Structure 1
Amino acid sequence: MIRTGEQYKEGLRDGREVWVDGERVKDVTTHPAMKPIIDIKARMFDMAHDGEFASALTYAEDNELHSIFNRPPRETKDWDDKRVAIDHVMKDIGGVVTRVGDETIGEMWSLMDGRDVLASIDPRFADNIDRNIRKVIEKDVFHVSANTDPKGDRSRPPQEQDPDFMVHVTKETDAGIVIRGAKYETAAAYADQAFLKPTVGAWRDEELSDYAVGCVVQMGAPGVKHICRTGFAGRSDPRDYPLSNRFDEVEALVVFDDVLIPWEDVFFYRHTKAAQFIRSTLHRYSAFPYVLRILYVADMMIGAAMWNAKQTGLDKLQGVREKLAELACYREGINAHLTASIALAETSPGGLLMPNQSLLYAGRILACSQLPTMMHIARELCGGQICVTPNAASFDAEGSGDWLKKFYSLNDTWQADDRRKLLAFARDLLNSDYAGHRLTFVQFAQAPHFNHLNALYQNFDFDGPLDFVRRAAGLSDRVKGS
């Protein structure tokens, strides 16, 4: 049941409509903007067949092997296994990718947790949740999510403007529902399917709405159009921008032009209460692998800054060590929240083991809100040469190359070529267009910061502090229930 990388690629050659830079893409697996990231996802599929990694990346069930990333977590070991698997993947590919499936399958587990609630609202679709979760496990599906609508004028309800600004159902048929609208989504153009969710905060007082819909959409289905942003890969020499050219995860405006969704792929429909419930629990699992990715970004910043300090001998200065300690504290703060959220994990309504919600959401706030500050500290430690160093071609050329080798060679250990490589890596990590894009992506990839804070507010246990102060201040028992 575990797919190979080539089987994954072959599945993408389904006639899907993908546009990049105004041109229709014939084969996404060979297009220069997407081939590098598709090759990395294909490598992840192949790693499950590799004797070196197979035992860490797969598990057996009913005499079949499945991806460890798609296994619903039921005990602490399941989460530990996922962390080990991610570690193998990140170290093998030599970088960080966010949208590869494990960070979005958790949204389906949230549906499993809400199965009874959804069934009480509308019992028609409860079995579809179980069926689709099994499908992802058994078919090794690359599953992403469709989250953000264009929205239009947010001061007006969708009914008072172009209705297609938000995804909605236009009609019902015997075969299923037909949807129109659009969503922004990372990796959709090279994924198998997406969980399409209603937008955040779209509801007023209505009980029923054609905009309250949740379903699975096949990314190659008729009427699905992927209009991708310009990619970073292939725009420059990979030696100068090693991250941009390998790890760019291409986003798209995914247009749903009268797309038929079979009834078996519908999870909820029309009931705004169901849509609100799912939005409130959506990230209870997916926040974990998402925040875990930022841990690896922190490692890259620490590594780049520390190597630069070692190259130039600045690691002996107290001021430099203090800055490095700030980066280390940020990294360990993320690690502590992730580790504690599993150590104090909670049983979910669906019987799964979900990370401690208060600790997990607090860790997400730390990781996302402090990332810009940490990137600036890393820039400071790497120094101004990351923005003024000539490109690799200048180091190779006769004439300029000799001078660059002279001034970029520090000692017998650090010659110009290694110095240039480190500076190019740091520039792409911290200063490039790609770096700015990734920073913005992190700020909004799991909803904006006010949603992060609201999630923590909803999951933090305020009773403890309230009772502590009530007793310490000698307040009367009358205030207990206030």
Structure 2
Amino acid sequence: MGARTGSQFLEGLRRTKREIWVDGERIDDVTGHPRLRGGAESLAAMFDRQHAYAAECLYTDPKSGQPTNVSHMMPRSRDELRQRHAGLVRLSEGSMGIMGRTPDYMNMKFAAFASAPRVWAGADGRNARGAENLVRFQRHLAEADIALTHTIIQPTTDKRTDSRILGNKVTIRKVGETADGIIVRGARVLATLAPYADEQTVYPGMPIPSGATDYALAFAIPLDTPGLKFLCRDSASAPGADPFDKPLSSRFDEQDAFCIFDDVVVPWDRVFIDGDVEIYNSMRDTGYATSMVTQSTIRALTKLEFAYGLATRMAELIGDHSPATTEMLGEMACYVRMTANAVELSLEQARERADGIWFPNGAALEPMRAMLPVWMPRVAEIITLIGSHNLLTTPSRAQLDDPALRPLIDEMLGGADGVPADERAAVFRLAWDFVGSTLAGRGFLYERFYLTSAARNKQMLHTRLFDRSRPRALLDDMLSRARPDFA
């Protein structure tokens, strides 16, 4: 079939009866429920967007011959990396980077996974069937253009013991098998996009200890699989709100869910890893981490650019050209420029793997995993400081439409340099939805932790990822100049 349209995406959701709970209610039709309809329609617009910008967002799949979303691409040249990049930018603009788990995120991961079946098979080919299942599933993902959710983090019950994995009766694990497949039980977090996904995936996240064979699992199953349940967080949407009043909340709540596997049977042809800890812990060799941070950084860059544009317009609307505000806007500009530089450098320093697959330079992007969780909350703080009380003096659409109120609002709530009151209200209502609404609160938490915390990423960069050979050489050189015995 190739790239789907928005209507095809929505029809697929209507056909699939899954167990989705939101605000204490089980939702049968996620496309029509007031708490979920806005997100469903925005994601449908993403599927339509790939056709509206087909030259950037689609490519002809060499195997199927069908127009396919660029996020499924396994680039075989620097030019194809650039092509994919342009498409990812266009897709991120669909929500201005506010929706962080649009389908292209998981598409990128599974393209990287499937580009290295040798990693899934193991050095001696002992998991050849799992590797074949993975490659076949990725073809299904690309050719049917389905949407995935995922869960890779175990729930927190007791931080003193959770990390031991072995003996943990909460996190997902294999509890048996039948002629049809393996039986899994337990829970994982955090299934972002769950109400709008076609399938649920489980795959390696953090390394697990030797002997944790019951926990070394990777698979994919449809969301209507018996025993699969999703308990969504409280909705951050704004059902029934005029888009003028809630421009973001009415559209971009992608939802997050606690995922429960209540003795779920995973068919054998959907099992990618079954108990092999060594293979489970080797997934970084597929290059998926670079693909993940590539999509995430492109998405974050769009959000930073949007936020900078919003903050600049806010300052203009109230005539604030003070040194303090100008400095804060310059700070935001630095975040935009540094993120853009990292993305560009990753493309300029792209590398070809031995098998001909091209990847951006992950080293250029790794610092973004540590810095974006710091920069994004700071951006929200800057918008709050610039907006101040003006964020709370924003007439609604109904108030602006009231014939008695409108003349007074026009007289007393206009913007600097004669900007009409409705334009000022639109900008500041957008700003409040970006930094002060329930959706904004969820976004704050998301940006702090969606690729784990800034602290953990800094630790990992220092202990595992950073090449310290040149810094050490420079230090040794200087020490040798001062003390010849160091030479």
Structures share fold, TM-score greater than 0.5: yes
* Alignment-mate amino acid for residue 103 of structure 1: Y
Deviations 1:36-79 (A, max 9, x none): 121122122223344xx222221112532211121122322223
Q: Which moved more, 1:244-253 or 1:54-63?
A: 54-63
Taking the TM superposition and a 5 Å limit, the aligned residue runs for 1:18-417 are 18-50=20-52, 53-60=53-60, 61-62=62-63, 63-91=65-93, 96-112=98-114, 115-118=117-120, 119-120=122-123, 122-124=126-128, 125-156=130-161, 157-158=164-165, 160=167, 163=169, 165-183=170-188, 184-198=190-204, 200=206, 203-204=208-209, 206-235=210-239, 236-278=241-283, 282-315=288-321, 317-348=322-353, 351-397=356-402, 399-410=404-415, 413-417=418-422
Q: Is the 8 A contact 1:143 1:193 kept in 2?
A: yes
Q: Which moved more, 1:469-478 or 1:80-89?
A: 469-478
Q: Is the 8 A contact 1:103 1:287 kept in 2?
A: no
| SS in structure 2 at match of 1:363 | helix
Indicate how the Cα distance of structure 1 residues 453 and 109 shifts in structure 2: closer, same or farther if over 3 A, else same: farther
Indicate how the Cα distance of structure 1 residues 328 and 79 shifts in structure 2: closer, same or farther if over 3 A, else same: same
User: Within 1, Cα distance between the matches of 2:283 and 2:467?
Assistant: 21
* Alignment-mate amino acid for residue 84 of structure 1: A
Q: Does 1:3 align with 2:9?
A: no
Structure 2: tracts of 5 or more residues without a match: none
Deviations 1:346-389 (A, max 9, x none): 33465422221221111232222222122212222233211344
Q: CA deviation at 1:28?
A: 0.9
Structure 1 partner of 2:471: 465
Q: CA deviation at 1:186?
A: 0.4
Q: Is the 8 A contact 2:108 2:295 kept in 1?
A: no
Q: Is the 8 A contact 1:178 1:260 kept in 2?
A: yes
Q: CA deviation at 1:110?
A: 4.2
User: Within 2, Cα distance between the matches of 1:23 and 1:288?
Assistant: 36
Structure 1: tracts of 5 or more residues without a match: none
User: Within 1, Cα distance between the matches of 2:113 and 2:90?
Assistant: 29
Query: How many residues end up aligned between the 2 structures?
Result: 473
Q: Is the 8 A contact 2:49 2:94 kept in 1?
A: no
| SS in structure 2 at match of 1:466 | helix
User: Within 1, Cα distance between the matches of 2:27 and 2:407?
Assistant: 43
User: Within 2, Cα distance between the matches of 1:94 and 1:36?
Assistant: 15
| SS in structure 2 at match of 1:326 | helix
Q: CA deviation at 1:287?
A: 0.9
| SS in structure 1 at match of 2:365 | helix
Q: CA deviation at 1:399?
A: 5.0
Q: CA deviation at 1:211?
A: 1.1
User: Within 2, Cα distance between the matches of 1:347 and 1:181?
Assistant: 39
| SS in structure 1 at match of 2:220 | strand
Q: CA deviation at 1:167?
A: 0.5
User: Within 1, Cα distance between the matches of 2:160 and 2:354?
Assistant: 36
Taking the TM superposition and a 5 Å limit, the aligned residue runs for 1:450-461 are 450-457=455-462, 458-461=464-467
Q: Is the 8 A contact 1:149 1:199 kept in 2?
A: no
Q: Which moved more, 1:378-387 or 1:120-129?
A: 120-129
Indicate how the Cα distance of structure 1 residues 418 and 108 shifts in structure 2: closer, same or farther if over 3 A, else same: same
Q: CA deviation at 1:279?
A: 6.5
Q: CA deviation at 1:284?
A: 2.0
Indicate how the Cα distance of structure 1 residues 92 and 145 shifts in structure 2: closer, same or farther if over 3 A, else same: closer
Q: Does 1:434 align with 2:439?
A: yes
Q: CA deviation at 1:402?
A: 3.8
Q: Is the 8 A contact 1:341 1:359 kept in 2?
A: yes
Q: CA deviation at 1:345?
A: 1.8
| SS in structure 2 at match of 1:247 | coil
User: Within 2, Cα distance between the matches of 1:109 and 1:467?
Assistant: 38
| SS in structure 2 at match of 1:473 | helix
Q: CA deviation at 1:314?
A: 2.2
Deviations 1:64-100 (A, max 9, x none): 2211121122322223223322333344556632211
Deviations 1:261-317 (A, max 9, x none): 1222222121222222236865221111112111122122211111122222223x4
Q: Is the 8 A contact 2:319 2:416 kept in 1?
A: no
TM-score, reference length from structure 1: 0.90
Q: CA deviation at 1:247?
A: 0.7
Indicate how the Cα distance of structure 1 residues 373 and 110 shifts in structure 2: closer, same or farther if over 3 A, else same: same
User: Within 2, Cα distance between the matches of 1:93 and 1:4?
Assistant: 17
* Alignment-mate amino acid for residue 272 of structure 2: F
Deviations 1:395-417 (A, max 9, x none): 44455544333211236741111
User: Within 1, Cα distance between the matches of 2:356 and 2:34?
Assistant: 44
Q: CA deviation at 1:15?
A: 1.4
Q: Is the 8 A contact 2:201 2:220 kept in 1?
A: yes
Q: CA deviation at 1:142?
A: 1.4
RMSD: 2.6
* Alignment-mate amino acid for residue 373 of structure 1: R
User: Within 2, Cα distance between the matches of 1:93 and 1:57?
Assistant: 15
Q: Is the 8 A contact 1:168 1:180 kept in 2?
A: yes
* Alignment-mate amino acid for residue 111 of structure 1: F
Q: Which moved more, 1:167-176 or 1:39-48?
A: 39-48
TM-score, reference length from structure 2: 0.89
